[in-house]
Homo-oligomer: A and B are copies of this chain.
């Protein structure tokens, strides 16, 4: 969406938009019978809804491009994922609900094992337990460096986040992770001018970390990568003149939503919990982002049947969502995660958009193939929010 234009056209309204994101929704046909997860699953509610909705496929980023959850979600929210990139360090911080300031630089970290020559022999320190990680993070969090605040927080197993907090920092830094074993950790270098001081501070941190961990086994060093500052982007609620809230079960998505200025509720346990949260918060907001993780997890595990089951679980709740009578109801995903590929893919993602003003597709079932026949065919994901706004009668006319 053209953010300048959208800001100009958005008007206040009492209409409500629900965006239900089934993570990794899109799939591919399995070999046995040539049917995808969406085609095998029994989805009577989604099918009935699709028949009276605008349906199509969305490309999150572009043809052939495999989106991470960051770009996928940004595109769904209307932000061009090429322009507004969320670096790995920031995403990792989102993942543990660690709030960042606009001037922070965050990095993803791995505990690793060095041999006596200082070469990396295990980039994951044998996958130490999360408890060990927590203990070591407390140690590293004590590190003091002149001119910057250092915040170290555990993620899981060997993974952690480090945030450098100060003025005038830059994320234009190279990684210390050599990405292979048998090499020494690399000194962090400047990738573009202006990052010299930050590189200096990060290297000091790395020296002090080596010192603090030298007697530990197996995690006797850290590797840092994905240095990132929070993206500078206009806040979603301000841009679109709506009160937006995120209803999620996982920190990453809550963090993403907060990054763009949405309110974010405390974590829900599951879909039913999310429906209860939607109910409690329905009156106070206009836009509801609801996230359902299970299809993606099953897809990444390569578990076709589990993904089918997850989709069927979602389908059973569709009447509950419809009972809120949102003015606009969208069901889609942030990318495809085909079980046969065991990971995110580039394939466009089905979507349905129901509103009183949507021209229905005449699509029979909510599947990849049928949505491809829908009147919108295939479109960029960043066009979905403008459509949602128009269908919610939240845009004024463009031009006289």
Q: Is A357 an interface residue (CB 8 A)?
A: yes
Q: Is A280 an interface residue (CB 8 A)?
A: no
In this complex, the member of A34, A86, A369, A398 whose beta carbon has the largest number of chain B beta carbons within 10 angstroms is A398
Q: Is A24 an interface residue (CB 8 A)?
A: no
- What band does the interface of chain A fall in when counting residues whose beta carbon is under 8 Å from B? 35 or more
Q: Which of B36, B69, B346 contacts A395 (CB 8 A)?
A: B346
- Rounded to whole Å, the gap between the CB of A358 and the closest CB of chain B is 9
Chain B binder among A55-63, A123-131, A172-180 = A55-63
- Rounded to whole Å, the gap between the CB of A271 and the closest CB of chain B is 25
Q: Is A261 an interface residue (CB 8 A)?
A: no
Q: Is A399 an interface residue (CB 8 A)?
A: yes
Known: A359-B28, A375-B372. A65 touches B346 (CB 8 A): no
- Nearest B residue to A64, CB-CB: B386
Q: Is A387 an interface residue (CB 8 A)?
A: yes
Q: Which residues on B sit within 8 Å (CB–CB) of A378? A: 375-377, 379
Q: Which of A368-400 contact B (CB under 8 A)?
A: 368-369, 372-373, 375-379, 383, 385-391, 395-400
Provide the main secondary structure of the chain A interface.
Answer: loop
Are A81 and B362 in contact, CB atoms less than 8 angstroms apart?
Answer: no
A 17-31 binary contact with B (CB < 8 Å = 1; else 0): 000000000001100
- Nearest B residue to A95, CB-CB: B400
Are B226 and A67 in contact, CB atoms less than 8 angstroms apart?
Answer: no
Q: Which residues on B sit within 8 Å (CB–CB) of A391? A: 64
Q: Is A96 an interface residue (CB 8 A)?
A: no
- Rounded to whole Å, the gap between the CB of A9 and the closest CB of chain B is 7
Q: Is A87 an interface residue (CB 8 A)?
A: yes
Q: Which of A67-110 contact B (CB under 8 A)?
A: 67-71, 81-82, 85-88, 91-92
Q: Which of A310-348 contact B (CB under 8 A)?
A: 338, 340-341, 343-347
CA distance A400 to B71 in the complex (A): 8
New A-B pairs, 13, CB < 8 Å, besides A61-B399, A70-B399: A1-B64, A57-B375, A63-B379, A63-B386, A64-B386, A64-B388, A66-B390, A68-B398, A338-B357, A345-B357, A346-B395, A347-B359, A368-B375
Binding site for B on A (CB under 8 A): 1-2, 5, 9, 28-29, 34, 36, 57, 61-71, 81-82, 85-88, 91-92, 226, 338, 340-341, 343-347, 357, 359-360, 362, 368-369, 372-373, 375-379, 383, 385-391, 395-400
